[in-house]
């Protein structure tokens, strides 16, 4: 860190956090002046009755077909429903996919097509204006923290693209840990590892933002302390509260930039015919990246080891945690074929998250990290 660098520090979304927060939806919609909301959710959350319980008797239009990784086709389908029903705002109820898809709708329902023009890699950040439709985000997992984030990951033409703008922050977030009580163990562990990865990668990012680093450390402390309890006993309210807080903190902090784990998880998550879970990908990629970053940030890694109580290197500690959580031991176990690795490495090098990795990573570095992560 240098005192000569300019820091950008942004905390915008008003968040109501705690058991019962989702019951504030009606009040919040009135406050925002939204009378005809489009509710964006996924088939699982709808089938479990969670979304209907949150919406209660409010009059809404439903889009409940969010795919596991949001695609442009799904965004356009939901946007059509938004237009036909004359909607004036969006309520996203679900995991990161539903919230990201909602951000895509909020954007393209109010801006000229095509969606791809607004991707960060295409210079889209400047094109996204205050016209973006207002969104109330209600997470049902504790992982992405997308409810307080300014980014959406959407698969456009086989590439997972990052859409980023301060205008994409949801207008309000209602974080209700009660909605996560019945999340199955595997999803609890995988999404929780996403939250932990956000905190770890952000803390190690070289950009200057001390408040973000303080939030990241608190998130690491909560996630590592509670993830096993939340996974083994889903109805532990204290564990669920802390994991949701770690998730929200992860997204509050990651404006400071992510790193090599996310740079590889993004192209891997876009592999056709292989719907790989983002959090699980992060989990299996973490040990190799933490070891790779060690020489570039020895003091920060020492601090992290202290926070989690690791004896040896942090990569090995994380690998142990992943095994205890019952997550896959590597990319090979997730079904990733070795022949895609060179292409993934090339895409990882181009991913915006690469720029803020603690240690500069080349395409060759990425190939090595990926090979190592096949079985870590």
- Which residues lie near Zn ion (CB under 5 A)? 194
Q: 37 or 259: whose CB is closer to Zn ion?
A: 259
d(CA 241, CA 347): 36
Least spacing, CB of residue 125 vs Zn ion, in Å: 19
Least spacing, CB of residue 318 vs Zn ion, in Å: 15
Q: 194 or 213: whose CB is closer to Zn ion?
A: 194
Strand residue runs (E) in 157-304: 159-164, 172-175
Kindly state the tokens that stand for 89: 């705002």
Least spacing, CB of residue 90 vs Zn ion, in Å: 21
User: Considering only CA atoms, which of 273, 250, 274 is closest in space to residue 262?
Assistant: 250
Reduced to 3 states (helix: H, G, I; strand: E, B; else coil), residue 313 is: coil
The residue count of the chain comes to 376
Least spacing, CB of residue 149 vs Zn ion, in Å: 9
Q: 39 or 246: whose CB is closer to Zn ion?
A: 246
Kindly state the tokens that stand for 17: 């956090």
CB-nearest residue to Zn ion: 194
d(CA 137, CA 126): 24
Least spacing, CB of residue 194 vs Zn ion, in Å: 5
d(CA 266, CA 282): 9
Q: 87 or 258: whose CB is closer to Zn ion?
A: 258
Least spacing, CB of residue 202 vs Zn ion, in Å: 10
Q: Roughly how many angstroms between the first and final C-alpha of the chain, as a whole number?
A: 31
Q: 55 or 261: whose CB is closer to Zn ion?
A: 261
Q: 34 or 263: whose CB is closer to Zn ion?
A: 263
**Residue 101, phi then psi, degrees to nearest 5:** -60, -40
């Amino acid at each position: 860190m240098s005192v000569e660098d300019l820091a950008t520090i942004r905390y915008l979304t008003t968040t109501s956090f705690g058991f019962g927060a989702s019951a504030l939806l009606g009040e919040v919609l009135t406050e925002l002046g939204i009378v005809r909301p489009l509710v964006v959710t996924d088939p699982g959350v709808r089938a479990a009755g969670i979304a209907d319980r949150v919406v209660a008797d409010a009059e809404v239009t439903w889009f409940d077909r969010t795919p596991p990784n949001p695609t442009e086709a799904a965004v356009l389908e939901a946007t059509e429903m938004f237009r036909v029903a004359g909607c004036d705002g969006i309520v996203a109820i679900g995991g990161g996919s539903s919230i990201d898809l909602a951000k895509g709708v909020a954007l393209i329902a109010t801006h000229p097509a095509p969606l791809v023009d607004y991707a960060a890699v295409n210079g889209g950040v400047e094109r996204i204006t205050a016209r973006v439709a207002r969104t109330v985000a209600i997470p049902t997992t504790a992982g992405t923290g997308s409810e307080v984030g300014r980014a959406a990951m959407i698969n456009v033409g086989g590439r997972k693209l990052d859409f980023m703008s301060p205008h994409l922050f949801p207008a309000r977030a209602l974080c209700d840990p009660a909605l996560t009580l019945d999340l199955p163990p595997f999803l609890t562990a995988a999404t929780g590892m996403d939250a932990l990865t956000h905190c770890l990668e952000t803390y190690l990012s070289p950009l200057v933002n001390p408040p973000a680093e303080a939030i990241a450390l608190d998130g690491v402390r909560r996630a590592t302390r509670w993830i096993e309890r939340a996974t083994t006993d889903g109805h532990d309210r204290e564990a669920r509260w802390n994991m949701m807080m770690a998730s929200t903190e992860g997204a509050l902090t990651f404006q400071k930039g992510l790193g090599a784990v996310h740079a590889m998880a993004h192209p891997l998550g876009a592999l056709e015919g292989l719907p790989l879970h983002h959090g699980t990908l992060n989990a299996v990629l973490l040990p190799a990246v933490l070891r790779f970053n060690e020489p570039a940030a020895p003091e920060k890694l020492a601090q992290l080891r202290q926070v989690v109580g690791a004896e040896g290197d942090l990569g090995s500690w994380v690998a142990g945690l992943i095994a205890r959580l019952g997550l896959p031991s590597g990319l090979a176990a997730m079904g990733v074929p070795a022949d895609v690795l060179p292409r993934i490495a090339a895409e990882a090098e181009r991913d915006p998250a690469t720029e803020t990795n603690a240690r500069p990573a080349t395409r060759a570095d990425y190939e090595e990290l990926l090979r190592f992560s096949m079985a870590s």
